[in-house]
Structure 1
Amino acid sequence: MRVAFVSTERDWGGGEVQLVRLGSLLSERGDEVLFLASAAGKLREAVPTGATCTLRTFPGRGRSPWSWLRARAALRAFRPQVVYLNDPRGVLLGGLASLGMGIPRIAARRAAFPIRSPGKYRRFADRIICVSKQVAAICRESGLPAERLRVVYDGADVERYAEIDRAEAAAAVRSLVDAHRGPSDVPVLLTAGKLTECKGHHVLLDALSRLVDRRWVLILLGEGERREALASRAAALGLADRVIMPGFRDDLPLLLCGTDVFVFPSLQEGLGSTVIEAMAAGVPIVATTAGGLPELLQPDEGPPIGLSVPPGDAEALATAIGAVLDDPESHADTRRARELARQRFSFDRMVGDTRAVMAELLA
């Protein structure tokens, strides 16, 4: 199978991680893969080019006629059997670039909020892959045809967590805290994600300001436009010496395995692939009920595998974090979380389910 992936994002986020992993694994399994990416984007630096995986770029964010012409030329040369459109601007770019070629198109939908321009999905997407049932419900409410929607959960490299030495992980976390002159010998909270408003990091800081009499330090991983505002908020709340912001790190699995509590305060979330990583790591989880997060932490069968609170509720978040700090074993079924991550949210399953949607279009 020949598959072309289109991404217009300049930044590096969860959607880009999933896309690169999907394309890489398809390439490893013998499919021919083309990545069409912005020349100014970070994704192009992560694409593993080789015999069955190539990269072509276009200028800007795909909005200009030059971008469309460059993308169209790349598609004509590659002759894909399926085009995969990874973000909203990519739907327009890839849709216009492939007009008249008769190529089936798949659009990914990751955000859990109403679609602003549903028309382009109806015009350019033969299938829409939604990362959760909640995202699929929002797509239906936005007017997209239900028969085109398919739910494919994001994945994680869940098997690698079994290979991580917990003592080494704890040492790595302690070294990071020490390097930033954080408090020593206290429980470590960790959150990770793009530093944007919708991730709810400001709510987490407000929650932690209610726990100043407790022993903890927070590692806040990620980059984004809210970085300076969050640092200022932490200082204003008197938390500057207990909130560490080391930016983006590529050793998240190691850090997760050495962390005491993973907190995910998102206000809007399609699914939450970082929560899948925390599940695979077997770390106690406190998260909100935003978007598709309950599909991870509140499975249909059995009790919840972490504590969930309403999005934006700092008081409830503080209470849940405090409860886990007091008695983590009573509030987190980490063994079952690891099992669910392996069974339902592996990269292998994500690739297989996505390939099944592609095969459906080609049948």
Structure 2
Amino acid sequence: MKKILFVTHNGRFLVQFELNDIRILQDMGYEVHCATNFKGESMRVDAEQTLKEHGVICHQIDIERSPLKMWQNTRAYSQLKSLLRSGDFAGVHCHTPMGGVIGRLAASATHTAPVIYTAHGFHFYKGCPLKNRLIYQTAETFLARYTDAQITINQEDFAAAQKFPLRGKAYYVPGIGVDVKKISSVQVDRATKRAELGIPQDALVFITVGELIPRKNQEFLIRAFSNANLTNAHLLICGSGREKEHLEQRMQELKVAEKVHLLGFRRDVYELLKCSDVFVFPSKQEGLPVALMEAMAAGLPCIASRIRGNVDLLENSRYLFEPADENALCQLLKDAANDVQTEQECAQNREMLKRYDTENVSEYMKCVYMEVLIGEKE
């Protein structure tokens, strides 16, 4: 049986985003291995155990997310080279920036090919700081010579990838897939769910989903929500992260602590979406946001920042705003309170999502794997 190796900086990423690709390769007859850093994984997800349950053979490689941890990542590079030399792998599929760097360099050093790299959102993009282009775009341009398939998940990144001096070529795949039918069919007793959260039955409920980090821009959202001063409105924020204490402090300062609810990591996000009225996504940087797709599938009107990925999904929406324009977001929150999107608009969102449905994305990925690994075009 031929073997394929996934490389990323942590195992939780594979559990969250790559189980479908793993299944595709297994169905094609490949034995799937992963090389990643399981140390320090969040307790809420036992990534190694989950991957093993899905038939994946796991290897501990000490990759660190930060490129500044040079010593640790140099050691990870040596570990990965040893694994590739001893493993006789028929290909490597890299994910995350440091997984992409170390994976491609190690594959080149051991003459392992073909090499696939999925960019879940380049760290250089329209409007990014100059240092991002100097560091990340330069790195991607250099590593292109070791890349047989550069997969991108939004149109801006695809256009950028086509300019790289790739050993192979660039591919566009519409994200990692979202199960539109499953999300659409979720049933929830809104009254009961709202009572569990301590929210009035007649309240207007905004919701956002994302890790509590600066890139997700939750403080910006809380300020806009406060300034909108909406009567009987509440904001749900689902996610955990290092910004929790800071956000709690800002909520107290802005006197919205009783109306803004930090719910932490949730396993009932679909139900929370179904008991909410409007989804808000103020992120500064995305590849192709699953959270936004899930909200669209749930039938919610969506307010979102006008950035790469979001505009792929909501290109003609009247609810887009510049990610630094707090006044614009404040006004859109007010507009949504007075003029919630029509059912027709929400239906259009669900229709748009068909191309991003899991089944459709799986067909894209299978075609890429067939062409790159086997040399066959469907």
Which TM class, normalised by the smaller chain length? 0.7 to 0.9
CA drift of 1:186 comes to 0.7
Deviation at 1:327?
Answer: 2.1
Whole-angstrom distance in 2 between the partners of 1:58 and 1:313: 42
Taking structure 2 as the reference length, what is the TM-score of the superposition? 0.82
Q: Does 1:308 align with 2:308?
A: no
Kept in 2: contact 1:192–1:264 (CA 8 A): yes
Aligned to 1:301: none
Deviation string, structure 1 residues 258-278 (Cα, Å, up to 9, x no partner): 211110011122221111111
Greater CA drift, 314-323 or 259-268: 314-323
* CA–CA separation in structure 2 for the residues paired with 1:147 and 1:77: 25
Contact 2:206-2:279 at 8 Å conserved across structures: yes
Residue 6 (1) aligns with residue 10 (2)? no
Q: What secondary structure sits across from 2:371 in the alignment?
A: helix
Aligned match of 1:27: 26
Alpha-carbon separation, structure 2, partners of 1:306 and 1:329: 10
Q: Distance in 1 between matches of 2:28 and 2:168?
A: 29
- Determine the C-alpha separation between the residues in 1 that align with 2:318 and 2:6: 35
Aligned to 1:325: 337
Q: Does 1:174 align with 2:194?
A: yes
**Structure 2: 5+ residue stretches without partners:** 66-71, 125-132
Hey, what's the Cα distance between the residues in 2 that align with 1:47 and 1:71? Answer: 22
- Aligned equivalents of 1:204, 1:81: Cα separation in 2: 46
Residues 118 and 144 of structure 1 are in contact (CA less than 8 Å); yes or no, is this contact kept in structure 2? no
CA shift for structure 1 position 90: 0.5
1:152 aligns with 2:153: no
1:36 aligns with 2:35: yes
Aligned length: 349
Superposed counterparts of 1:242-281, under 5 Å:
242-281=259-298
Q: Does 1:110 align with 2:109?
A: no
Counterpart for residue 363 of structure 2: 352
1:36 partner SS: strand
1:305 CA displacement: 5.3
Q: 1:216 to 1:356 in 2, by over 3 A?
A: same
Kept in 2, the 8 Å contact 1:135–1:292? The answer is: no
CA-CA distance at 1:171 after TM superposition:
4.4
Structure 1 residues 77 and 250: CA distance shift in structure 2, 3 A:
farther
Give the Cα–Cα distance (whole angstroms) in 2 for the partners of residues 296 and 159 of structure 1.
17
| Identity across matched positions, percent | 24
- State whether residues 4 and 80 of structure 1, in contact with CA within 8 Å, keep that contact through their aligned partners in structure 2: yes
- 2:56 aligned with 1:57: no
Per-residue CA distance 1:297-323 (angstroms, 9 max, x = gap): 12xxxxx35621121211111211221
Of 65, 75, 80 in structure 2, the residue corresponding to residue 71 of structure 1 is: 80
Which secondary structure does the structure 2 equivalent of 1:108 belong to? strand
Does residue 94 of the first structure (1) align with residue 111 of the second (2)? no
Letter in 2 for 1:241: E
The alignment's TM-score, normalised by the length of structure 1, stands at 0.85
C-alpha contact 1:20 1:46 (8 A) present in aligned 2? no
Query: Residue in 2 aligned with 1:221?
Result: 238
Structure 1 residues 186 and 90, CA gap change in structure 2 (3 angstroms): same
Q: Secondary structure at the match of 1:159?
A: helix
SS of the aligned residue for 2:258 comes to: helix
Q: Note the C-alpha offset of 1:82.
A: 2.4
1:312-359 superposed Cα distances (whole Å, 9 cap, x missing partner): 211111211221221213497111212222x21112222221222222
Contact 1:4–1:82 (Cα < 8 Å) also in 2:
yes
Shift of 1:160: 1.0
The alpha-carbon deviation at position 52 of structure 1 amounts to 4.1
CA contact (8 A) 2:154 2:312 kept: yes
CA shift digits 1:122-159 (9 cap, x unpaired):
24322211110112234457x55597221112111222
User: Aligned equivalents of 1:45 and 1:215: distance in 2?
Assistant: 44
